[in-house]
Each structure stands twice: as C-alpha cells, then as structure tokens.
Structure 1
Amino acid sequence: MTEQAKAVEAARAHREASGAGILAEFLELLNLPNVSRNLDDVGHVAEHIVAMLTSRQIEARLEELPGAAPLVVGHLRVPGATTTIGIYAHYDGQPIDQPDWSVEPFKPSLFDDSIADGGREIPPPHDGDDIDPEWRIYARSTSDDKAPVMAVCAALDGMRKAGASPASNIVFLFEGEEEIGSPHLATYLARLQEELAADVWLICDGPVHQSRRPQVVFGVRGISEMEITAHGPI
C-alpha cells in the first residue's frame, strides 16, 4: 500500500470511528455567527479556529489589520521537510435574509434527508453511533466554507491517530472576508509573503462534484464582476 493510500485509509477509519465527535465539534463551529461585515462576530470565529488548531499541536495565531477581519495563520513544521503545502479556506459567511430560512441560521439543525425531500430533524448522534451519509446539516456556512476548516482538523486527528506524519510542511491560512471580495487579503499577503511561501496551495472552497467523489481542480480562470442595466419592457 502506498503512503497516499495509507493516509486515505487512516482518514476514512478515523471518520468511521469518530464521526459523532467530529459532528459535535462541527456543530459548535456552526453555532458561531460569521457575517463578514460584523467584525466582532468574525473575530470570535477566528479565535475559535485558532483554539481548534492549537489543540492539535499546530502553531496558530491571529494576524490583524485595523478595520479588517483577522487572518488565521498556522504551521505544521515537519523536521527535514524540503517542501511546503498551503491550505486555504475562509470562515466568514454571507448576510442572513431570515424570512427565507426554514431553520435558525446559527442554530445548526440535523435532518435525516434534505428538507426538499421531506427530511425530518433528528438529534445529534452519540459516541459510537453510525453516521448516515444522507444526513443534512442546515446552518449558515455549513458547506461554504466552515466544512473545510472542520475537515482539515479531522484529517489532522486521523493522521496522528494512525501515527502518520506528512512529508511536507503545512501552512494554514483561514480568511474572514472572502464573501465581501477579500478587501484586505492583498495587504495581508504582502506583509506575510515570506512566511506564507509554499510550493503549492490547496484552495478548499468549491462545490461537491455531482458524483459525490472527491475532486481536485488544477486551475481556475478567476472571477469577473459586472453591472448590467436593461431598458425596455420585460
């Protein structure tokens, strides 16, 4: 078995054995309001993520600028490693239009299926309970983009549980302004250019493939914004 296959197997085994605990920690993260423009709220989320990382022996801290959401920066340094992998995600979310929500946005609700398919709300599982892959969690930023933060932490747990160590250093970068166009990210990156140097960056922010299989996209063409004014009858 290759080292990559061993790592995948370790992650899967940890998820199957510790699914209820992973879910409980994720629900705690989802309880924290994270609308980008509310600096107090996103600041609390950033502090929470630092605590999640440091509890896993990751060197983590906040990097701050006046009037900006803090950046979470973390390092997993591997003795003898000559390469570095960067992992990016964002922890902020979009504003809440409350009338359009069937559940409380910052009180995560677990359902046995999608609401559209008649899913019913169920209580969180207990330790040792199986996790049904068809369950759904409804809360603001469940998938975009708090899920990758939790996935990274769960992967670190699975790796250590299996006695595995990465071959590369890992630098973590979690941003709090992605949903409003990352107005301060360039300034942060310029300040931390040397510290954040990496051989490759994994941007953990994107949709699930329709096949439900994991996917890696090797490049994107960026984002264009435009305003269109239409005249005449509709």
Structure 2
Amino acid sequence: CTCLKCTNQPVEKSPNQAVEKCTNQPLLVHLRQVHPLSNCPNQPVENCTTPQTQNSPLIISVPRLKQLPSPEYTLHEILSPRGFTSAQIEQIYISLDTNPTGKIITSCSHELAFDRSTLILQPKTPTALVRPMHIPETGTYVLSDNLKLKVETEECGDRYEPSRTADCASLDASDIKFPLTLRHIQPGDRFVPFGMTGTKLLSDYLTDRKKNIFEKRAQLVLTDAQQRILWLVGERTDNRFRITPHTQQVLRLTLQ
C-alpha cells in the first residue's frame, strides 16, 4: 500500500536483517549471543592452548581445538582481540583440516603460523637484521636498537677457557678469513655441528631442536669470506673451527 498512513509505519525486520544490524559488529559478538559456551568463554581457550610467558608465543593445539564443542567460536575468542578479521578466522578454521604447515596469516598486530599440529600466535616483531651485514674487521657492530655483535681476537694460552654461553662463540682464528657476513639462514645451508664430523642441513638441525617457524625465520648465521658457516648464532658453532690444543689465536664473537 502506498497511502501515507501505511508508508509511515515501521517496517518489521527479518531475523537475518536483525543480525546484520547487530550493528555490523564482528561475528564474534553474534556468536557470543547464540552460543551456549558464551557464559564461560575462557574455559575452551584454556583447554586448547599452552600457558604463555612474556616472551613466548601462544601455542594452540589443533587436535584439542577440534575436540571442543565449537572450534570456530573458540578461534574467534582467541584471534578477534588480536586484530584478525572474521574472514581471516573463517579461513583459518577451514584450513585446520588441510594443515598447511608453513602458512602464515597476519593481522594488524599479530602473526599466526600453521606448524604441524599447532597454530603459533605471536605479536609482530621487527627482524633483528633487515639485510646481510658485512663485517670487514674486528670491532663492535650494531644490529638493532638493543642488540650488538662484538668481534675480537685474543691469544689462546694453555689455560684458555672457551665460552660456554649461548650468546658467545670462541673459534680457532687460523683458518677464518674476513670479511665475515651475518645473515638469516637460507635454503640448503649446511654446517658441521660442534662435536660432530658430518654436515647437517640447518633446517633439519633446527627442526630437531623443536624450533617453530618464527624461530627458524629469525635465525642468524655468521659466515666467513668462503661462505662457510662459523656459527649458528645463539645455538651452536661449526666443528671445523673448534678450539684445539694447537690453537694460537681465538676469534671471539659476543652478542650484547
């Protein structure tokens, strides 16, 4: 009817329109309104995640997540406050069955990676090294605002004790040629882990060490002029440059 009386009457909205009006709010709001777990939202989250410390990522167990009454709802509870959109969360939920290990999805503030049977969630962090750094001689080199690399040589006497800390490496300097290069790992990189005789792919070594995809991406190596890996930084030195009874001069590398 087009009469004035009828056209001034409020139009009744369908249930679907009412949900849309739900103000264009994120899908999470609607899920909270209709899902029976909404009165205790933290319990499912705790059932599928590992406790998070200050400097560690949040680990979500995919098998445990899929056992929950509403995995998609739980994903929204975890990811929506960290900037992920409803479309991204739906994409992540759909991908749980295909397990695309190595895939990374980012929000404005966080990154989420598929890593075997887990989802790894962490805040976006700047890389320690934007591009390879060439080190022509001994000295102290600034890697970032809060990280430096000190390169020095020292005499190796009978009582010399190599450093045993992860942020320091002591190498036999006799066969090391400058310039050195500090860079991120690359596909196909190999080294001889300290204490071993054969070479090993860095990717395999880091997998054996249970490093996640973000840790692998951030891993640095130090090479010499012949592109031989001297140090898997913070992890392990190359056995070819170990200190021996015949060592006369030591190349000492320290992260500060």
TM-score over 0.5 (shorter chain): no
Larger helix fraction of residues? 1
TM-score of the two chains, using structure 1 as the length reference: 0.22
TM-score of the two chains, using structure 2 as the length reference: 0.21
Compare CA radii of gyration and give the structure with the larger one: 2
Larger strand fraction of residues? 2
Bigger RCO (CA 8 Å, 6+ sep): 1
